[in-house]
Amino acid sequence: MLIALRATHDNLGLEGLERITRGSENLDERLAALNEAHPEQPLTGWVCLATCNRLEVYADVDRFHDAIDLVTRAVIDTSGLPAEDVARMLVVDAGSISARHMYEVASGMNSQVLGEAEITGQVRTTFSSALASGHTTTLLNDLFQGALRTAKQVTSKTKVGAAGRSSVAVALDSAHLFTTELERREALLIGTGALARVASAELHLRGVGTLRVYSPSGRAAQFADSHGALPVAPDQLEAALSSAAVVIAASGGGTHVIDPPLLERALEARATSEELVILDLALHADVDPAAAVLPGVRVLALESIRAGESARGEVERARELIDTGVVRFEERQQIRAVDPAVSALRRSVKDMIVLEVDEVRRSSGEAAAEQVQRSLGRVYNKLLHSPMVRAQELAKTGQADQFLEAIHTIFGVDVAGSLSVDGARPASESAAPTREGLERPPMSVAKMEQMRRDLEAAQVREEEQAAHTEHGGERDV
């Protein structure tokens, strides 16, 4: 089954998200190690999505609660946070709720900047990496490929939010730094990652005169060569700050690149009286909060950046496209649920044909056998076409069990032991929640674990009560 555990800007805020995403670059490796060491290996496949707005793990699992425990443990290990904090911060859901969230994320409908452009590329890159690592499954492939197709439709058929603009473009607009304010001016870029590349392109588009780049990790020269910029050495950072019209901080290295003493010196050396605008777009802030209150500087943090409201009709149209995409994904999973039965039926009929052709070959020779094989091949295609179409129709409506019963009755093919009609793999008893449980709104891992403990305690009480009643009855007798 499909499950998702996530921590996002909308349920944690950026401060909480910053804490839980520390070390997220090691999460994929940690999941692999924990799953390999687990006796049941509850994760069949997984994809980890970590961006400035979210940390999400989508997983194809065999054992529901074991999988949740494993992913939670991996996040505890990578973030360094106490177990109770991670359990409180992570929310979990499954099935269609998880699928819908992925479709909304890929389409930019769950971002701080509605309709942002970066997230679709981030989803694509993340999925491609997981695919290359061999960590995906057919279910996850369907999910991410479908979500990316829908995202493309949302971009091409609607004008949602930022209308495909990046968060950098929205941030510059929020600071009123349009082409006329930036043309032939100096800009300083801090960082060389994906967000820095987007920022570089946007600044050049707006006619910036000189773009300088500083990298806390020492990658400025390489980045500058390919992005029309000038590298800034550590001892040149103060001068670059003093001459810049705007600074875009996007390194997110976990330490404050700009602190109050550095910024004070840069402002004192500034040749103009206009304020220095700093857009701190890094999840792990590059600008010390104490520096943001200095006179002569204006800092716009990530959480303060929003796109303008879209027309309601455009948002509704985007959600209609997402609804359609999710329905197709669910139908696809229902159809895949009857794949074992379809394959078994095809094998059964093909085996009959092989036996018949072999008999003709022995009695009448190779030429006659080839003619019979061609004739029976045509019969095979015509015979199975209608059952295959009907199987898909029944699967889409959740009635695949009727197809299973029919092929068992007519052909003697029995695949009941290898198929779960609702799309989940066979698992041990109590390995997964009920269908109704899957459709509940997302809840925190901590709340889910408390519900599980309450249920186990209630079961113990019932067993004790039953035992007490039984022994009491024996004494009465």
Task: Spell out the per-residue pLDDT of the chain, length 477, in tens.
Answer: 899 999 987 667 667 888 898 899 999 999 999 999 999 899 999 999 998 778 999 999 988 999 999 999 999 999 999 999 999 999 999 988 999 999 999 998 887 666 677 888 899 999 999 999 999 999 999 999 999 999 999 888 887 754 456 678 777 877 777 767 788 899 999 988 777 888 898 899 888 999 999 998 888 999 999 999 999 999 999 999 999 999 999 886 668 899 999 999 999 999 888 889 999 887 677 889 898 889 999 888 766 665 555 556 778 888 999 999 999 998 888 777 666 666 677 777 788 888 888 989 989 999 988 888 888 888 877 777 676 666 666 666 666 666 666 666 655 655 554 444 333 333 333 344 443 444 455 788 888 788 878 888 888 888 888 777 766 655 554
Q: What phi and psi, each to the nearest 5 degrees, are found at residue 374? A: -65, -45
Which residues lie below 8 Å from residue 262, measured CB to CB, with a gap of 6+?
Answer: 237, 238, 241, 291
| pLDDT at res. 337 | 66
Residue with tokens 């139908």: 331
Please spell the DSSP secondary structure of 150-195, one letter per residue.
Answer: HHHHHHHH---TTTT--HHHHHHHHTT--HHHHBT-EEEEE--SHH
| pLDDT at res. 215 | 92
| pLDDT at res. 473 | 54
Q: Shortest CA distance to 163 belongs to which of 14, 333, 270, 308?
A: 308
b/e string for 315-340 if b means 16 or more Cβ within 10 A? Answer: bebbbebbeebbeebbebbbbebbeb
Show the tokens assigned to 149: 């197709």
Q: List the catalytic residues.
A: 52
| Cα separations in angstroms, 335 against 150, 390, 442, 470 | 20, 11, 26, 48
Give the integer Cα–Cα distance in Å for 138 and 45. Answer: 9
Are β-strands 91-94 and 2-8 bridged in parallel, bridged antiparallel, or unpaired? Answer: antiparallel
| pLDDT at res. 434 | 43
What count of Cα atoms within 13 Å lies in the side-chain half-sphere of residue 396?
A: 12
Class of domain 167-304: alpha beta
Give the integer Cα–Cα distance in Å for 292 and 300. Answer: 9
**Where is the binding site for substrate, in residues?**
51-54, 111, 116-118, 122
Give the integer Cα–Cα distance in Å for 184 and 208. Answer: 5
Domain edges within the chain: 2-157, 167-304, 328-436
**Where is the binding site for NADP(+), in residues?**
191-196
| pLDDT at res. 127 | 97
CA angle 42, 434, 71 (to 5 degrees): 30
Q: Shortest CA distance to 65 belongs to which of 5, 11, 12, 7?
A: 5
CATH homologous superfamily of 2-157 equals Glutamyl-tRNA reductase, N-terminal domain (3.30.460.30)
At residue 312, the 3 state secondary structure works out as helix
